[in-house]
Amino acid sequence: MLALVLATSACAFKMTGTPPGTATGVVISADGPDTAQVDRFSLRTNAGQVLQFTVGRLDLANGGLPAPHIREHLVSGEPITVFYYGIEVIRYVDAE
């Protein structure tokens, strides 16, 4: 039920034309059915807040990265910037 509410919220943001949220930090966990896929991950922001995200259909244009690359950031500790609606990440890039 909670997943349905969260998914509905994410869709509502997309339909309103509201710009996506952004967050920058380090990946502290990544989960998926195998090493080639990431369905969800946690990010510790530069301010110390821990955010939980699900991975949606990712925009790979202009430096956008594929979901499996999140695991490399988990290991390296290099920060990323995520763009999201609700809890669904729609794009992420290496942080500058």
Per residue of the chain (96 residues), give pLDDT as tens: 434 333 444 444 455 578 899 999 999 999 999 888 999 999 999 999 999 999 999 999 999 999 999 999 999 999 999 999 999 999 999 998
The Cα 41–Cα 64 span in angstroms is: 17
pTM of the model: 0.80
Task: Count how many Cα atoms sit within 13 Å of the Cα of residue 71 in the half-sphere of its side chain.
Answer: 11
- CA distance to 4, 12, 52, 89, 96, per residue, from 40 (Å): 16, 20, 7, 9, 23
DSSP state of 61: S
The CATH number of 2-94, from 1.10.150, 2.40.50, 3.40.1000, 2.60.120, is 2.40.50
> Judging by DSSP bridges, how do beta strands 88-94 and 50-55 pair with one another?
parallel
